[in-house]
Amino acid sequence: MTDNTTPHRIADTRADRGSARITYPNSLPRPEGELEALERVWAAPKGWRKLSVVNNNYIGVYYVGASFLFFILAGLLALIIRVQLATPDNQFIGHELYNQLFTMHGTVMMFLFAVPAVEAMAVYLLPNMLGARDLPFPRLSAYAFWAYFAGGLAFFCSIFFGLAPNGGWFMYPPLTSTEYSPGINADFWLLGIGFIEISAIAGAVEIIVGILKTRAPGMSLDKLPIYAWAMLVFAAMIVIGFPAVILATALLEVERAFDWPFFIAERGGDPLLWQHLFWFFGHPEVYIIFLPAAGMVSMIVPTMAQTPLVGYRLVVLALLATGFLSFGLWVHHMYTTGLPHLSLSFFSAASSVVAIPSGIQVFAWIATIAAGKLQLKTPALFILGFLFIFTLGGLTGVMVAMVPFDWQAHDTYFVVAHLHYVLIGGMVFPLFAALYYWIPTVSRQPLSERVGKWVFWLMFLGVNITFFTMHITGLVGMPRRVYTYPAALGWDTLNLISTIGAFMIAAGVLLFTIDLVRRFRVTDGPNAGNVWNAGTLEWLPAGDYQTRSIPEVRSREPIWDQPNLPEDVKEGRYYLPGTATGQRETLVTTPIDARPQYLLQLPGPNWGSFLAALLTAAFFMGLTIKLYVPAMIAGGLAIAAIFWWMWDTDHGGSDTEVDVGAGIKLPVNASGSVSHSWWGVVTLLLVVAMIYICLVFSYLFLWLVNGDAWLPDAARLPELWQPALSALAWIGSSIVVILAGRLLSAGGWVAPALLLLLAAPLLPLGIWLEVQGQLETGLRPTETSYGATVYMLSALQGVFVAAVMLSALFVVLRCLVGLVHNGRRASFDNLQLLWHYATAQGLVGLLVVHGFPRLVGMG
């Protein structure tokens, strides 16, 4: 095993690349007090005030910790499940608790552990890796984290009161409709999902804008770390996929609360609508969890092998292809619902093809390991365990993609085995590898290598013992989600083996936790350092401000290829070595080639996001347990808290430009389409638009299911002048807002504020006209799924319009105190975006509701 060629080769390459002379953007020595000023500006609050912290290196660590807590909690639920199933006809727990346990296990693992965990890692890692000082919306991160943590805990506690949801983690109606689930258990599920929807969307906005706008100069897209690529695809998938589940949960909650029959077959609803919406989200969800993990693996493998990733471009293509294909697979969860065979063949082919991007990545990792020399340290062990488990899960994935096989395997323990192989292999093992790998960047000392090997072997053997066995259990006939089984079917021994394996996994996780408690010490002083000799920016020396200066990136592994980079960065030779405006700042660069664009001032700690999060949690909680008045109070206060946090985030531009080094002078802040907040709002609008598109899809789907008779004939539709009036109101309001914008440019602030106040009532007026028109025809939302869908289009518009009006209120308030003028207009510009989108969305809705039935009627 003595092999010296490879390291030499790398060393030579590095020497070659490094031989070009470097001219540094900033010269030494740095002015006195520059570093201290930087430290002071970025310092996290101390003591109990730390709750108001927004720095990503704190929020990220809290976030990872919280998701790990939910991993342990959901794991404990699994252990109870395994004890119950250890013997046939077991009386250990009854069906009531069991059904809540498996629902909570799935829900908590998927929604409170897996998605938040990968997002948490991104909050922690991305700014460091990209050379930014923080994420572009730090207070939004803080809000998303606290809402998730408080809401998640409240949701989890429902199990202690016997109120936990019991409909399975995908909550198929009509089992979860009021008729068969009259209690509030199902509402708790919808509540729990609500929080993760908020934090996922917030994370996606943050990640997309962060990756596209706040990279170190020179880090063009072809030098982007693979992990950032993976997170970019991840965030795009959230933007496209999450809206489907947001809409589905909204429809189910509205059906439960107001008896609008979206899923009730007797009144024209269809339970399969839920399944389409849920799996249109739910299948991509698996890749939403897997891609970030794959991205982490693509960072860890090159370091552990000390050589760049083989096939970087192919891996990027694989990530993009996975993201794209994953939206064409959802029906493979629905093979047994009696869909036509032709469409099954299409989805079967697509489901098989998605194996190829995974194959590309697996072989890229193997090739990288071969190209370098793998050090068999704990992160590498978890990577190898991941390769084995994930490959096996991928292979059974191809099996269940085959329609006839799935007809047998579906909803059995075979699928339970498959999904655990994919998720544990595809996410948990990479996450453990990542924790072992990256903890030295945040902790004073790394975790123990000796304990790490024990943790690995316990978990690796445990997972295979538990879940490999389950393939067989399923094939010999055991369906999933049964709280007990008879002795005579030959399932007892298999189940006992699985239970033993489960406790081995638990022992591994326990050992890990003990090691964590013993060795993990967050530090704001020196951390353990670049212990693996990694090549990317997150390993540069860092404080609360991340790196002292923001490096110029000239390779994919800058630390390997740019000699002396850590020291140069630390001494302040690179960009922005201090604070240029006396505030928190980061560099905004262009999306493709990362040329410096402007200096973005970032907001500091604030109680608004923390309070808004707790109040949001209280609001949803109150609604769920039917305490409406307190809920409304909490909701109102939450909005006030959000105003507070947003209040000082629009700093406005400044007349003077600042020097960040190398003679580059940058404007401070920006407005219009280069501004980070414009990008954020556009991303958010994409989410909103996707929600609306999903509702339009639901309308068309229910029409297809019910046939043309579902639509009213033209005589029973409101007359055309009614929608025309609505359209007029919305278009009129948009024109007024455009006018307000012109006046703002001309230098006024009174007239714009007045015009906003004038335009605002037109938005709800349009909705009122539409609803009135429908009511006059005698259409009722509770009687048919057609009525429910038509009114739901207005309801969704109403929710969005309410948000626009709150934003308008916010802008008007700022006008009144002189915080909005032509030089400080980001909040106004963003409002304009929202406004015009509301008008457009309303018009699309009118076209669907009034145009489509007439179109079909003509045909």
Partner 1 sequence: MSSAAAAAARLLPFVALLLATLSACGSAIPPDRRVVEGDPLRGRQLIAGVGCGVCHQIPGVDGANGIVGPSLEGVGRRNLLAGVLPNQPDVLTQWVRDAPSLRPETGMPEMPLSEEEAEDVAAYLYTLR
Partner 2 sequence: MGDPFDIVSGIQSVLSPAGPHAAWVAQLSWVMFGAGGLILLLVVVMTALAIFAPAGFRQAVGQRRTVVIGGILFPLVVLAALFLWVLNGSSALVTAGPPGLRVEVVGERWWWRVHYLDPEDRVHMVTANEIRIPTGMPVEFRLRTADVIHSFWVPSLAGKLDMIPGRINSYRFAVDKPGVYRGQCAEYCGEQHAKMAFYVVAMEPAAFEDWYGAQTLPAAEPALASEELGRDVFEANGCGACHTVRGTAADGVIGPDLTHVGSRVSLAAGILPNNRGTLAGWISSAQHIKPGNLMPSFDTLSGPELRALASYLESLK
160 lines the binding site for partner 1 (CB under 8 A): no
Which residues partner with 479 through β-bridges? 412
* First vs last C-alpha separation in the chain: 76
Q: Helix 449-475 and helix 413-423: axis angle, to 10°? A: 150
**Of 268, 256, 332, 118, the residue nearest 624 (C-alpha):** 256
- The least CB distance from residue 499 to partner 1, in Å, is 11
Task: State yes or no: residue 567 binds partner 2 (CB under 8 A).
Answer: no
* 486-525 residues near partner 2, rule: CB under 8 A: 486, 488-490
Q: Give dist(CA 316, CA 230) in Å, integer.
A: 8
Nearer to partner 2, 110 or 670 (CB): 110
- Judged by CB under 8 A, the residue of 36, 407, 567, 673 near partner 2 is 407
CA–CA separation, 549 vs 139, rounded Å? 23
Residue of 51, 254, 320, 402 that binds partner 2 (CB under 8 A): 402
Choose the contact partner of 31 out of partner 1, partner 2, none; CB within 5 to 8 A by kind.
Answer: none
- Decide: is 277 part of the binding site for partner 2 (CB under 8 A): no
User: From the list 13, 34, 39, 92, which residue makes contact with partner 1 (rule: CB under 8 A)?
Assistant: 92
> Would you count residue 342 as binding partner 2 (CB under 8 A)?
no
Dmax over CA atoms of the chain, in Å, equals 86
Q: Is 80 in the site for partner 1 (CB under 8 A)?
A: yes
Stretch that binds partner 1, among 481-489, 720-728, 752-760, 847-855 (CB under 8 A): 481-489
Contact yes or no for 292/118 (Cβ under 8 A)? yes
What x-and-dash track marks residues 677-716 binding partner 2 by CB under 8 A? ----------------------------x-----------
Binding partner of 88, given partner 2, partner 1, none, CB within 5-8 angstroms per partner class: partner 1
Residue 387 touching partner 2 (CB under 8 A): yes
Residue 777 binds which one of partner 1, partner 2, none, with CB within 5 to 8 A depending on kind?
none
**Angle CA 611–184–190, to nearest 5:** 55
* Residue 92: contacted member of partner 2, partner 1, none (CB under 5 to 8 Å, by partner type): partner 1
Residues 6+ apart with CB under 8 A from 45: 52, 53, 605
Please tell me whether residue 406 binds partner 2 under the rule CB under 8 A.
yes
Residues in 343-372 that interact with partner 2 by CB under 8 A: 345, 348-349, 352-353, 355-356, 359-364, 366-372
Asked if residue 488 binds partner 1 (CB under 8 A), the reply is: yes
Nearer to partner 1, 491 or 645 (CB): 491
* 380, 304 Cβ separation under 8 angstroms: yes
Q: Residue 478 CB, nearest distance to partner 1 (Å)?
A: 15
Name, in order, each residue with C-beta under 8 angstroms of 517's C-beta and a sequence gap of 6 or more: none
72 binds partner 1 (CB under 8 A): no
From the list partner 2, partner 1, none, which binds 647 (C-beta under 5 to 8 Å, kind-based)? none
Distance CA 835, CA 856 (A): 31
Candidate residues 76, 180, 450, 724; the one interacting with partner 2 per rule CB under 8 A = 180
User: Are the beta carbons of 624 and 184 closer than 8 angstroms?
Assistant: yes
- Please tell me the count of residues contacting partner 2 according to CB under 8 A: 87
Q: Considering only residues 581 through 600, tell me which ones interact with partner 2, judged by CB under 8 A.
A: none
CA dist 298 and 312 (Å) reads 9
Least Å from the CB of residue 92 to partner 1: 6
Least distance (Å) between residue 86 CB and partner 1:
9
Q: Does 486 bind partner 1 (CB under 8 A)?
A: yes
Hey, which residues between 491 and 520 contact partner 1 (CB under 8 A)? 492
Token couple for 147:
């809402």
Cβ-contact 418, 393 below 8 angstroms:
yes
DSSP letter assigned to residue 599: E
Partner in contact with 851, chosen from partner 2, partner 1, none, beta carbon below 5 to 8 Å by kind: none
State which residue, 492 or 593, has the beta carbon closest to partner 1. 492
| CB distance 240 to 204 below 8 Å | no
List the one residue from 31, 33, 162, 479 that touches partner 2 (CB under 8 A).
Answer: 479
At residue 411, the 3 state secondary structure works out as coil
The nearest distance, CB 700 to partner 2, in angstroms, is 17
Count of positions (residues) in the chain: 859
Q: Which of 204, 122, 117, 102 is nearest to 152 (CA)?
A: 117
Q: Which of residues 308-337 bind partner 2 (CB under 8 A)?
A: 310-311, 314, 318, 336-337
Cβ nearer to partner 2, comparing 258 with 407: 407
Rg from Cα positions in the chain: 28
Q: Is 6 in the site for partner 2 (CB under 8 A)?
A: yes
Instruction: List, as one string, the DSSP characters of 778-815.
Output: T--TTT-HHHHHHHHHHHHHHHHHHHHHHHHHHHHHHH
CA 531 to each of CA 374, 445, 455: distance values in angstroms, whole numbers, following the listed order: 15, 10, 20
SS3 445: coil
Out of partner 2, partner 1, none, what residue 91 binds, judged by CB under 5 to 8 A for its kind, is: partner 1
**Residue nearer to partner 1 on the CB measure, 93 or 803:** 93
Would you give the distance in Å from CA 427 to the centre of its chain?
15
CB of 487: closest distance to partner 1 in angstroms?
4
Find the binding residues for partner 2 in span 83-112 (CB under 8 A).
94-96, 99
Cβ neighbours around 477 below 10 Å, total: 13
Residue 375 or 673: which CB sits closer to partner 2? 375
Task: Indicate whether 858 belongs to the interface with partner 1 (CB under 8 A).
Answer: no
User: Could you give the residue ranges of the DSSP H alpha helices within 648-720?
Assistant: 676-706
Neighbours of 162 (CB within 10 A): 12
Residue 461 is a binding residue for partner 2 (CB under 8 A)? no
Please tell me the chain's helix, strand, coil percentages from 3-state DSSP, rounded to the nearest 5.
Answer: 70, 5, 25
SS3 state of residue 602: strand
Binding status of residue 396 toward partner 2 by CB under 8 A:
yes
- 475 belongs to the binding site for partner 2 (CB under 8 A): yes
- What is the closest distance, in whole angstroms, from the C-beta atom of residue 157 to partner 1 in the complex? 18
- Is the alpha carbon torsion for 765, 771, 772, 773 positive or negative? positive
Q: Is 652 in the site for partner 1 (CB under 8 A)?
A: no
Q: In terms of DSSP bridges, do strands 664-666 and 596-602 run parallel, antiparallel, or are they unpaired?
A: unpaired
Site string for partner 2, 719-758 (x = CB under 8 A): ----------------------------------------
Q: Hey, which residues does 443 pair with through a beta bridge? A: 522
Element holding 395 (H helix, E strand): helix 378-401
Interaction site with partner 1 (CB under 8 A): 80, 83, 87-93, 484, 486-488, 492
